Amino acid sequence: MIRYSKNFLAGITVVLVGLGGCGQNHEEQATANLKPPIQQEIEEIRPQVSQIVRAPVTEKTRKTYQWYCAQCHGIEGKGDGINAKLLTVPPRNHTKASYLETRTDEQLYEAIKFGGLSVGRAPCMPAWENTLDEETIHSLVQYIRELCQCEAL
């Protein structure tokens, strides 16, 4: 019995270690066994906490969301973009207030700027710091607030 449990545990460990990235088959999507980022990883990615600016949501913000974000988060932000079913961790549904009100604007800003790992979330979300300017990132945070119809608690 003891030997059996040991083998079982070893098997589980191998499976857990094997799941490191984002691309998985749909059937395997239910397994959210991604390794959480280690502290060192987080510090490397997120150099400093920035000041949050409440940038207005403009036409450019919406277009930016449609051009880049909607690939995974979907046209309406429901987390159902064309890549969604192929990722290990489903993209965030930006219309889900119950989750987004638990996130601060700083956390959303950092997730966009430095990627998911920087805020202890999935690595599937890349860093947009070299693609989007500061103002656009700030306005995207506000756009997410518009989508979820919520504020940070």
Partner 1 sequence: MIQKILTLLCLGGLLSLFPLSLEAGVLEENNCSTCHSLSSEDTEKKISGPDLYYAGNKFQPEWLRQFLKVPAVVRPSGFITDPGFLKGSPENLVPHPSFPDEKANAIADKLMELKIYEQTPVVRNALSKGQRAKIKYQFERTYGCISCHQSLNLAGKVRGGISGPSLVNAGNRLQADWIASWLQKPETYLSKSRMPRYKMDSVTQNLFVQFLMTLKKENMK
Positions in the binding site for partner 1 (CB under 8 A)? 18, 20-25, 66-68, 70-72, 74-75, 81-83, 86-87, 115-117, 123-128, 130-131
CA 55, CA 102: separation in Å to the nearest integer?
21
| Nearer residue to partner 1 within complex by CB, 75 or 152 | 75
Q: How far is the CB of 4 from partner 1 (least distance, A)?
A: 26
Q: How far is the CB of 148 from partner 1 (least distance, A)?
A: 20
CA 152, CA 7: separation in Å to the nearest integer?
45
Beta bridge partners of 23: 87
CA 54, CA 140: separation in Å to the nearest integer?
10
Q: How far is the CB of 149 from partner 1 (least distance, A)?
A: 22
CA 3, CA 12: separation in Å to the nearest integer?
14
| Nearer residue to partner 1 within complex by CB, 89 or 150 | 89
| Nearer residue to partner 1 within complex by CB, 55 or 68 | 68
| Nearer residue to partner 1 within complex by CB, 127 or 150 | 127
Measured in degrees and rounded to the nearest 5, phi and psi for residue 60 equal -60, -40
Other C-beta atoms lying within 10 Å of the C-beta of residue 140 = 25
Q: How far is the CB of 153 from partner 1 (least distance, A)?
A: 28
